[in-house]
Structure 1
């Protein structure tokens, strides 16, 4: 079942963030292309080896990675701030015969995740954790992912880090958040990654990689939920 209605609420910053993505997806449908990201390919293999059957993707956008998970046999719950992006994902899933494998829902990740305790085999988030979220909000989101994952479930996420060329440039918003070209990013330190993994997780792997123009410098982080 799909739900494309934005959550109610009156936070101006949240509304501005959502409106940015709504406008971006409306102006550039499928703007990240059809090919899955390298982290999604890695995650699909890892999740399969761990025996996962379903994946919760946070920050799914227009769905290039959600579609990849579905094509490789997973049931997918795709969540994003943008109803426009999710509508594009739904249309793409229907066109590819994958609609029965993908459910979508608008989700503000600053709010509790709309999933039951221990209901997900695996969680994936490409570039979602390093959006304009405070450290407190990132901690709360990580705790929510821990809540919805079953014991032994894997969480794979990617973040831009403090070695990125844009770190320290543009408008400094504090809390390692910098706005460059009208877009704010929370740049992760290694200490923050280790802090997030300290409560209820095994930190399996932190792999550096590059993506896109500049290029952006990121970490691919893999963690396993422990009871």
Structure 2
């Protein structure tokens, strides 16, 4: 696949408004049931006693609500105001506001938290949004910064076995725009590249949705430098 196409960052930045429009026009765009990756992550978190969780790219909150219902203290960041509003409304309606703290934030900027305050970080398809590799490196470093020693980072990303990979409009690197959405498709090499400062516990391929989409669920542990 072509990898030398210039990256037009202004096009990538417009994805925020695209997602904002989608979330505003369709309540529960991805359904109300927790995703399979969230269920799997919750089991891992519980087994290891990880209680204070940071979720990046919470969307409209289907996984957020699930984590809170299962006893986790959940902090959530999403760059769409409509998503943040949806999560807050659901948390209030379900009496989960004490367990959920949600904020509008672009993860290309430093995470608004101190060092080593979270037991774990979780994100479902945030990594495969319209981020360049250098932006993903920054996000990975920020996650490492806010995690406690031996903290877990569990994320999912669509991979290069996906049927959409290489289709649509090439936006540079392994990014392709299909149906208005720009996706950064991951190879195992990309997972390994972004794991600096972490130990790779697991890279599990799974399918989701009607295409179906093909994704990796990656489980990383922060390396204790002490």
Whether the TM-score (by the shorter chain) exceeds 0.5 is yes
> Following the alignment from structure 1 to structure 2, what is the Cα–Cα distance between the partners of residues 76 and 190?
29
1:212 and 2:209 equivalent? yes
The 1:221/1:127 distance shift into structure 2, 3 A limit, reads same
1:12 positional shift: 4.4
**Structure 1, residues 13-57: CA drift from partner, whole Å, max 9, x if none?**
465222111111110012222110000001111011111111100
CA distance in 1, matches of 2:51, 2:211: 36
State the match for 1:65 in structure 2.
Answer: 63
Alignment partners' CA distance in 2, 1:15 and 1:27: 20
**Quick one: distance in 2 between partners of 1:34 and 1:99?**
18
Give the Cα separation in 2 of the matches to 1:19 and 1:122: 29
Count how many residue pairs are aligned between Structure 1 and Structure 2.
216
1:151 paired residue number: 149
Q: What is the match of residue 142 of structure 1?
A: 140
Q: Which has the higher contact order (CA 8 A, sep 6+)?
A: 2
SS in 2 for 1:174: coil
The aligned counterpart of 2:72 is 74
1:8 paired residue number: none
TM-score when normalising by structure 1: 0.92
Q: Which residue in the other structure is 1:3 paired with?
A: none
Shift of 1:140: 0.8
Residue in 2 that maps onto 1:202: 199
Q: 1:127-184, CA deviations, whole angstroms, 9 ceiling, x for partnerless residues? A: 0000010011111100110000001111000000111111111111121101111111
**Aligned-partner Cα distance in 2 for 1:131–1:16:** 12
| Structure 1 residue ranges without an equivalent (≥5) | 1-10
Report if aligned partners of 2:55, 2:74 keep a CA contact under 8 Å in 1. Answer: yes
1:6 aligns with none
Shift of 1:91: 0.5
Aligned to 1:50: 48
1:38-187 to structure 2, matched below 5 A, reads: 38-187=36-185
Aligned to 1:5: none
Maintained 8 Å contact 2:79/2:104: yes
Q: Deviations over 1:75-118 (max 9, x none)?
A: 10011011101101111111111011001111111111111100
Q: Distance in 2 between matches of 1:182 and 1:66?
A: 26
SS at match of 2:157: strand
Change (3 A) 1:187 1:49: same
Structure 2: state its 5+ residue gaps: 1-8
